[in-house]
Amino acid sequence: SNALNFSGGPGVLPESVLNEAQKAIHSVPEVGLSVLGISHRSDWFAAVVEEVERNIRQLLQLPDSHALLLLQGGATLQFSMVPMLLLRGSGKTAEYIHSGYWSRQSIPPAQLEGDVRVLWDGEASGFRRLPAASELNHSADAAYFHYISNETVEGIQFNEIPGREDVPRVCDMSSDFLSRPFDPDRFDLIYAHAQKNLGPAGVTIVIVRRSILDQVPDGIPALLDYRAHLKAHSIYNTPPVFAIYVVLLVTRWLIEDIGGLERMAAINQHKADALYAIIDSHSDFYRGWARSENRSLMNVTFELPSTDQEAAFLNQARTIGFSGLKGHRSLGGIRASIYNAMQLDAVESLCEFMEDFVTQAR
Ligand code: PMP
């Protein structure tokens, strides 16, 4: 069932949002037309984009120094757009952290645009931990510093913001954006695709410090240039109207039903604590992937003593109605993704199942 969907992404959305989206597919009340057939040039859609921006600004307390854009192409396109706009022709070096599967994908596109220095590489430690600040040898003249706040595949998450304050800080927050509060003013560029905590796939949020756009080189196609999207209020070409509408519903849910990011973070902590407690109380059976200081509150990853037991675990879980628990194809094991919309009682059901499974396996 939807309630027991622990998918790594696209992830579960709030039931109330699904209900409203369902109604809107038939007819948006204010318009009398299906959301799938409303012009992106309508006043209604301009207001949707405006409210999405207003809501995210409110949730993050985003200062006016930063612009908010709604783009397409997923987080993967940002792997290219970031170095195209901030590294190309700069004669500088971009600094990257290689902390897991997704940060590995982020580096080759940057190497196409200029010099890249991998500041820290987690491969030797099997991507089970993240670097401490003391392990990062930043230089003052880097074009920017890029990292991923939550490695979705491995389930490791930064608790502190790495980097130095005098180098532009760029962060892929795809899998933990709007799951906890943070100070946006410490970032020059943030991007996050929607399909974890925000809505359906198809829209990617970009938050950019306006002042860094002055250095964008010439010769960038408009669709790949933040400035074109900024000027067009995120309606440069036809945007994914439906996906953006659902993001609007999710931001309303965060503000009205949850009560903001402090509250959301407390709920997320609670859910993650419950799962990690089960893992720790049976540590001879459930072996948590991440070192405990770096455990993700969004993706709880663990292994069982054998792949046969993992297969049995997944099979039994499926018969009860759990889905999405299979680890990423690159890593194996089990991954329970517990994004914002995952309810505490569903996490508690999973904890019960894990207790039962370990008892039965012994
Ligand atoms: N970054 C992170 C942290 C991700 O989790 C993912 C996909 N799950 C991506 C980038 C790639 O995103 P997309 O498929 O939207 O391009």
pLDDT tens, 253-279?
999 999 999 999 999 999 999 999 999
Measured CA to CA in angstroms, residue 18 lies from 158, 341, 343 at distances of: 31, 11, 15
Per-residue tokens: 127? 């991507």
Q: Cα of 28 to ligand 1 centre, how many Å?
A: 30
CATH architecture for the domain at 15-258: 3-Layer(aba) Sandwich (3.40)
pLDDT value at residue 1: 85
The pLDDT score that the predictor gives to residue 46 is 98
**Measured from the CA of 76, which atom of ligand 1 is nearest?**
16
Rounded mean pLDDT of 58-70? 98
Q: What are the structural domain ranges in the chain?
A: 2-12+259-361, 15-258
Residue 193, judged by CB atoms within 10 A of its CB (0-12, 13-18, 19+), counts as buried
H-assigned helices in the chain: 15-26, 43-60, 74-86, 101-111, 226-231, 241-252, 261-281, 307-320, 344-361
Query: Which residue is catalytic, options 120, 176, 188, 196?
Result: 196
Q: Is the ipTM of this complex over 0.90?
A: yes
* Averaged pLDDT for residues 187-210: 98
In angstroms, what is the span from residue 106 Cα to ligand 1's centroid? 10
Q: Is the CB of 172 under 6 A from ligand 1?
A: yes
Q: Residue 239 corresponds to which tokens in the numbers above?
A: 């945007």
- Binding site membership of 9 for ligand 1 (Cβ less than 6 Å): yes
Is 120 noted as a catalytic residue in this protein?
Answer: no
Q: Is 80 exposed, middle or buried (0-12, 13-18, 19+ CB in 10 A)?
A: middle
Residue 79 CA: nearest ligand 1 atom is 10
Q: Is the CATH code 3.40.50.9100 the one for domain 2-12+259-361?
A: no
Task: Give the residues across from 205 on adjacent strands.
Answer: 70, 192
Tokens of 283: 């540590």
Which of 79, 98, 175, 176 should be mutated for ligand 1, with most atoms under 8 A from CB?
175
289 labelled catalytic: no
The whole-number pLDDT of residue 355 equals: 97
pLDDT surpasses 90 at 362: no
Q: How far is the CA of 29 from the centre of ligand 1 (A)?
A: 33
> How many angstroms separate the CA atoms of 61 and 306, rounded?
46
The answer to whether the pTM exceeds 0.90 is: yes
